Structure 1
Amino acid sequence: MDLILAQEAGGSGLLSLLPFLIILLLFVPLFLNGRKQRRQMQQTQTMQQALEDGDVVVTTSGLRATVVDASYEDTIDLEIAEGVVTTWLRAAIREKVAADEPAEENTEAEQSEQQEQSENKPTIH
């Protein structure tokens, strides 16, 4: 009888730690994810502050533009088309695009391949 009570007492000690272990298992991933987000936010802010005239950027709305004037602290002037300059908040810049990266255009071979594929498809009336 004493042996059974001793085993139950030992097991209940482990059961009393179970809620703390569950809480720990839930909060560790949240903590690590928060650190990752803070690091990414810091990198984005550093990039936004380091922008210079002539840099090609993409805004949070997906607009690709060239930096014309980066002399202001909170805003930045972007040329979205030839002769069209708009003022944006620096926080609206999502990423800096490599200047030598070409726009996504289809080459002649890709265009002819797409045309052949569309010609081979049956039309449904």
Structure 2
Amino acid sequence: MFATPAYAQAAGGAGGAFASFIPLILIFAIMYFLLIRPQQKKAKQHQKMIEALRRGDQVVTAGGLIGKVSKVKEDGEVEVELAEGVKVRVLRGTIAQVLNKTEPTAAG
């Protein structure tokens, strides 16, 4: 005798269900291209910069210390000379920027 609103709305069919997901798909695509993808590119560039560290490079750490790389170790550490005779061990991941890059010497 009484028709409930739930039965009346169920007549939309499968096409209506897909149409309701289109805005969600578009939001995810926009989020990917505006947030996720640039962040991944920046992380790859940072990884390349860290792998290319060599002795003599002037670097800035994440803590804001500026120094010159005096030794590159294999266990993920770098020895940075902050001042004459003042050397600290720094994790490679905390190197934020390379200010002056030294050129590799030509083996002749």
Q: Structure 1 length normalisation: TM-score?
A: 0.62
Larger radius of gyration: 1
1:83 to 46, 66, 85: 85
Which residue does the alignment assign to 2:28? 27
Q: Structure 2 length normalisation: TM-score?
A: 0.71
Q: How many residues align?
A: 89
Instruction: Choose 12-21 or 23-32, whichever is displaced more.
Output: 12-21
Q: Which runs of 5+ in 1 are unaligned?
A: 1-10, 100-125
Higher helix share: 1
Q: Which runs of 5+ in 2 are unaligned?
A: 1-11, 102-108
> Aligned partners of 1:68 and 1:78: how far apart in 2?
6
Q: Percent identity?
A: 30
Q: How does 1:1-125 map to 2 (within 5 A)?
A: 15-32=16-33, 33-98=35-100
**Structure with greater contact order relative to length (CA < 8 Å, sep ≥ 6):** 2
